[in-house]
Structure 1
Amino acid sequence: MMHNFSWWRLGWTLLAYGLVLGGVGLLLGAPLLVLLLGALGLVLWHYWQLHLLSRWLWDGRQFTPPRGSGAWQHAFDGIYFLQRKNLKRRKELGRLLKRFREGTEALPDAVVVMNEEREIVWCNKLATNILGIRWPEDNGQRVDNLLRRPEFISYIKREQYQEPLIIPSPVQSMASIELRVIPYTANETLLVARDVTRLQQLEQMRRDFVANVSHELRTPLTVLRGYLEMIGEDPRLEQGPWGKPHKMMTDQVSRMYSLVEQLLALSRLEAKSEVDNLKVVPVPALMTKLEADSQALNSHKQHQIRFHVDELSMRGDGEQMMSAFSNLVANAIHYTPAGGQIDVRWQALPDGRARFSVTDTGDGIAPEHVLRITERFYRVDKARSRNTGGSGLGLSIVKHVLSRHRSRLDIESTLGKGSTFSFVIPKDLVVRNKSVINE
């Protein structure tokens, strides 16, 4: 039976024990000897209780402790209470671990738990079907020793897990898997893998369809465009009833031709997964050409366009970067009311990176549209985009170009005040123009 420990009870017990020994010693005429023998007996009794406790802790097979005496019974009861408490906690942890494992087994994804050394701590059954990892045979094995793909090893070493990695399946030759690494605890991470073969096939079918249709449309549109231009050279056209229909047909064919060209450009970007970052792109020279093109495009709007260009170049694909630059500037010109102000900046940042930005004084973009504005064919105002010749593909092209150059498009916009479209080029892709001369 458990009871609270009392120093008063222990003190009175020792006092009573001493008085009894003192009384017996006085009766026998040897009080010191009796007290000495009593103290020795008390020490032996304590050692006996300690022996019972040690034997129970190390060799005992019973859960309940041996029956102690005096203050030792309180110690035995306390240890028994802690054992029951720890047993309850272990059962709760066991149930929690069981629920965790049952939950991960029910997931449609393969889950692998790794420690800080990238060694496998646990995995579910789907890891065998998707990744070829066997449990418990591969327990303690390094995951990069089992998935020996160069891109996966590089992905793990970089420890930049914002984006997933898609690699060929190590189990099925024609399948593709998407890998995500998620921090789990301070020393463990989760490797989550799913089969994306079907999604990859559908995406490839979509890209092939868009590319083929765009290519097939390009030839008839070119023929129509050529004949319309040839007819437009006839001075009698303006005098007859076909002047206005001819202009409308020319505008619509030009719009369709521009849309096809953008679709083909987007298809080429999607098909080309890597960019040669060894080529130097002379950005100041591109800015000079872009300034001349923007002034020609600005002939009707009469905006005040100002360019601020630092002497910086970068490494990458010059054609793709020019496409990104021109799309952002063209959007600012098209969607800013006449007589507005547009500032184009290519500037060096203090940390060695470079930033390109286009700031306009247009109508701005509502917050609910900002997150979707880079989706293909997405337009904030469809009627207005149709009037300005917008296709909803320009920012999609910019997004793909920037992803190839390890950057992303940032959009800051306030309704009624204007917008700023910008992106930052990583430091290792920025080239000082003195370096260009040396090369």
Structure 2
Amino acid sequence: MHHFSWWRLGWSLLLYGAILAVVGVVVGAPLLVLLAGALGLVCWHYWQLYLLVRWLWNGRQFTPPRGSGTWQFAFDGVYFLQRKNLKRRKELGKLLKRFREGTEALPDAVVVINEERDIVWCNKLATTMLGFRWPDDHGQRIDNLLRRPEFLAYIKKQQFQEPLIIPSPVLPMASVEIRVIPYTANETLMVARDVTRLQQLEQMRRDFVANVSHELRTPLTVLRGYLEMIGEDPRLEQGPWGKPHKMMTDQVGRMYSLVEQLLALSRLEARGEPESLKDVDVPALMRKLESDSGALNSDKQHQIHFDIAPLHMRGDSEQMMSAFANLVANAIHYTPAGGTIEVSWKKLADGRAKFAVSDTGDGIAPEHILRITERFYRVDKARSRNTGGSGLGLSIVKHVLSRHRSKLEITSRLGKGSTFSFVIPKELLVNDVLSASNQ
């Protein structure tokens, strides 16, 4: 294959013109010879063009016909582009084949969806897990095939940060976790995973905790009652049983509190968002919390300041009081004597409301912050045991906030203290109370 050269083309035209001029002078008709030569050149070009077009549209051979002159460069160029495109198509075909083989090897159902929610492609597992038929369902809208109300709402909402768990439309008593991931500019990838076993284990854990906690509650109540009755005897302090009685009372009380927290956590896990949102008088809850914190703070004598805006919210009053109380109690328990605790409930500039508890305690190391809301997780087990901590308080707070469309934020510095806060969305606020108080 020769490379195209403008110089060669120019010299060829000059040579052809010179030959025509010489012939014209010899025969005595230079203009007529030049005109005949130009017409012959045009006819030759049209013939070469005809060969090229015939080969492009009707040719059965991959190689182009043999051209002549400068047209051979055009034929060779087209042939080069064809080979280049063929190579690219083969590479894309191999890449597509590897992609499909990879998705077929995945233990999850994979479905490619375009921006109109039409199914572009799915693997074989999607046919057994979701009931799709491939390739019959190509181009079908996925919300016409999966008609579960929760799935339709999930797709319509277009907020895919959290997965969705729905019953399998094909497998009886099976649960499927669905995740939607951005794939290309106009397509998304839906991944479905069988989580039946995980759901069963989680339900077994919840039932076990709830049942064991409920069964422990009765004997603990009996022990607590008898210990209180024995404690009323004035002779107890004079004998050798005074100290053992106090230790038993404290441990039974600690165990009873742990059981109560486990039951509260089980109830929270069994519920979703509050079905009926009722008015929560947060300032009234804060006044009660301020009064109760005085009893908790009798030994350490912290300086506790409450800054509460007259702002109500909608939700579950009992659950919110549990969240408020747990955060304030934690600050009191883990702040050294004489420290300062700031409790605030105020409206933000964007219309939301923020609750925050700041203390001057020892602080929390960064590696513990991500796990501190896990049940039974404690930064310092010895200190938590001495202060009566169970490792369930922040887990309860986390579940309460998730049911009120919020989440717990923790900022802390070792030796400087910590701040536990959460923001309530404006759609859960009762703004009339605040506006009326400002008039």
* CA–CA separation in structure 1 for the residues paired with 2:436 and 2:231: 48
The reply to whether residue 138 of structure 1 matches residue 137 of structure 2 is yes
Verify: 1:53 aligned to 2:52, yes or no: yes
Residue 336 of structure 2 contacts residue 361 of structure 2 at CA under 8 Å; is this kept in 1?
Answer: yes
Q: Which residue of 1 aligns with 2:207?
A: 208
- Corresponding residue for residue 180 of structure 1: 179
The one-letter code of the counterpart of 2:421 is: S
Q: What's the CA shift for 1:433? A: 3.8
- Cα offset for 1:333? 0.5
> Which amino acid counterpart does residue 403 of structure 1 have in structure 2?
S
Q: Secondary structure at the match of 2:238?
A: coil
Q: Quickly say closer, same or farther: Cα 1:435–1:157, change in 2 above 3 A.
A: farther
Instruction: Judge conservation of contact 2:277–2:316 (CA < 8 Å) in 1.
Output: no
Contact 1:276 1:317 in 2 (8 A): no
Sequence identity (%) = 82
2:158 aligned partner: 159
| Residues 76-91 of structure 1: pairs in structure 2 closer than 5 A | 76-91=75-90
Structure 2 CA distance, aligned partners of 1:435 and 1:43?
90
The one-letter code sitting in structure 2 at the alignment partner of 1:62 is Q
Query: What is aligned with 1:286?
Result: 285
Which one-letter code corresponds to 2:346 in the other structure?
Q
Structure-2 residue corresponding to 1:34: 33
**Unmatched 5+ stretches in structure 2:** none
Structure 1 stretches of 4+ with a deviation exceeding 6 A read: 435-438
Deviation at 1:367, TM superposition (A): 0.9
Is residue 304–residue 340 contact of structure 2 (8 Å, CA) maintained in 1?
yes
Query: Which secondary structure does the structure 2 equivalent of 1:238 belong to?
Result: helix
Q: Deviations over 1:330-373 (max 9, x none)?
A: 10110111111111111111111111111111001111111111
Is 2:227 the counterpart of 1:228?
yes
Q: Which residue identity lines up with residue 306 of structure 2 in the other structure?
A: F
Instruction: Tell me the SS of whatever aligns to 1:181.
Output: strand
SS of alignment partner, residue 137 of structure 2: coil
Which residue in the other structure is 1:413 paired with? 412
Write the letter of the residue equivalent to 1:297: L
Residue 351 of structure 1: SS of its match in structure 2?
coil
Give TM-score, length-normalised by structure 1.
0.97
The answer as to whether partners of 1:277 and 1:315 remain within 8 angstroms in 2 is no
Residues 1-59 of structure 1: CA deviation (Å, up to 9, x unaligned): x1211111000000000010111111111111111111111111111111111111122
Please report the RMSD computed on the Cα atoms of aligned residues, expressed in angstroms.
Answer: 1.3
* 2:117 matched residue in structure 1: 118
Deviations 1:282-338 (A, max 9, x none): 111111111111122111111111111122221111111111111111101101111
- The aligned counterpart of 2:314 is 315
Equivalence for 1:341:
340
- Matched with 2:237 is 238
Distance 2:251 2:378 in 1: 18
- State the Cα distance separating 1:422 from its structure 2 match: 0.9
Letter in 2 for 1:339: G
Rounded to whole Å, the distance in 2 between the matches of 1:65 and 1:278 is 77
1:436: Cα distance to partner?
A: 9.8
Q: Aligned with 1:365: secondary structure?
A: coil
Instruction: For structure 1, list consecutive stretches of 5 or more residues without a partner in the other structure.
Output: none
Residue by residue over 1:134-153, the C-alpha shift from the partner in whole angstroms, topping out at 9 and shown as x without a partner, is: 11000001111100011111
Moved more, 228-237 or 119-128: 228-237
CA offset at residue 276 of structure 1? Answer: 2.7
SS at match of 1:398: helix
Could you report, residue by residue, the CA deviation over 1:185-242 in whole angstroms, capped at 9, with x for unpaired residues? Answer: 1111110001111111111111000000000000010111111111111111111111
Say how many residue pairs are matched: 437
Shift of 1:252: 0.1
Aligned partners of 1:33, 1:242: CA distance in 2, in Å? 138
2: CA distance, partners of 1:431 / 1:39? 91
Amino acid at match of 2:298: S
Which region of structure 1 is more displaced relative to structure 2, 176-185 or 75-84? 75-84
Report SS of the residue matched to 1:396.
helix
